[in-house]
Amino acid sequence: MSSSRRPAAVPIPAVETADRMELYRALETSLGSSFSSEPLAPAPKPLIMVISGPSGVGKDCLIKRLREVRENIHFVVTATSRSIREGEVDGKDYFFVSKQDFLTMVENDELLEYALVYGDYKGIPKQQIRDYMAKGYDIVLRVDIQGAATLRKILGDSAVFVFLVAESESELVMRLIGRKTETKEALLVRVATAREELRQIKNFDYVIVNAEGKLESCVKTLESIIDAEKAKVWQKRPMV
Ligand SMILES: Nc1ncnc2c1ncn2[C@@H]1O[C@H](COP(=O)(O)OP(=O)(O)OP(=O)(O)O)[C@@H](O)[C@H]1O
C-alpha cells in the first residue's frame, strides 16, 4: 500500500515484544478498519447428487451407509408403483403407490422425472427436494441409467452425476444372483441391460468402483466427491 493511501500513521509495536492484541489493534488502526469475523469462504450451497448404475451394483447399500456416516444428507424417497419387497419399508425405501395414484402425481406435475422401469413406474417427488434444500440439506437421488439421462437434461451440470460400477461384469452378475430378489427372467433382462448401460458412463461426472467387500472405500470416495464439490468457488444452484 502506498503511504498516500495509508490512514493515520500509528506506531506498530515490535513483533518480538508486543502483546498479541496490542499488535492486532495497531494493525487495524493502521489499515483504517477493523478486521471482520465474517467467514472468508462463501457458504456452500446444497448439492444434488445423482447416484446411478446397473441393477445390483450396490446403490442402495452405498446410500444407506452414506446416510449413516454423514449428516445433512437427504435421500429422496422415490415413488413407485412396484410391489413392496420383503424387508422394505413404505416411506423409507420407496413410497409405494398404486399405478392410478402414480399417474395422478404425473398429471399434477408433482414429479421431477418419472419412468416406466421393468414394467413399474418410478418417479421423484419435487416438493421433497425443495423442502430439504431450503433446510440446507444435500440431496441424494438414486435413479437408474435412464433416469439419470433424463435428470441430466433437466438439471444440466447443476447436479453431480455419479456412476457406480462393480469391479467386473462377472462380479455384478454374482451380486445380483446373491440378492435372490429376481426371477430368472428378470435376471436375464437386468444382466443384458447392464451391458448396454455401461456405455452411458461417459455422460457422468464421476465413476466409483464398488468392489466386492469394499463398500467402505466406496463410501469414502463418495464423501470426497461431496467435499470437493462443496469446496468449489463456483457452485451452481440447482432449480427444482
Ligand atoms: N461392496 C459390496 N460387496 C459385496 N456385496 C455387495 C457390495 N455392495 C452391495 N452388495 C450386495 O449386492 C446386492 C445388490 O446391492 P443393492 O441392492 O444395494 O443394489 P442396487 O444397485 O441398489 O440394485 P437395484 O438397482 O436392483 O435396486 C445386495 O445383496 C448387496 O448386499
Q: Within 6 Å (CB) of ligand 1, which residues are found?
A: 53, 55-61, 175, 178-179, 210, 212-215
What pLDDT digit, counting tens, does each position of 66-90 carry?
Answer: 999 999 999 999 899 999 999 999 9
Paired sense of beta strands 78-80 and 120-125, if any: antiparallel
pLDDT in tens, the chain (240 residues): 455 555 567 789 999 999 999 999 999 999 999 999 999 998 899 999 999 999 889 999 999 999 999 999 999 998 999 999 999 999 988 999 999 999 999 999 999 999 887 789 999 999 999 999 999 999 999 998 988 999 999 999 999 999 999 999 999 999 889 888 889 998 999 899 998 999 999 999 999 999 999 999 999 999 999 999 999 998 888 889
* CATH hierarchy code of domain 48-230: 3.40.50.300
Question: Which residue of the set 25, 82, 130, 179 is catalytic?
Answer: 179
Contact between 115 and 24 (Cβ < 8 Å):
no
> What is the reported pLDDT for 56?
86
Q: Is 190 a catalytic residue?
A: yes
Residues of the chain with CATH 3.40.50.300: 48-230
CA dist 232 and 157 (Å) reads: 13
Atom 26 of ligand 1, nearest CA residue: 55
ipTM above 0.90, yes or no: yes
What are residue 141's DSSP bridge partners? 50
**Region for 207 from its dihedrals, namely left if φ exceeds 0, alpha if ψ lies in -120 to 50, beta otherwise:** beta
Name the nearest CA neighbour of 75 among 131, 130, 142, 136.
142
Q: Is 5 a catalytic residue?
A: no
Q: What angle, rounded to 10 degrees, do the helices at 59-69 and 215-230 form?
A: 60
Distance 134 CA to ligand 1 centre (A): 31
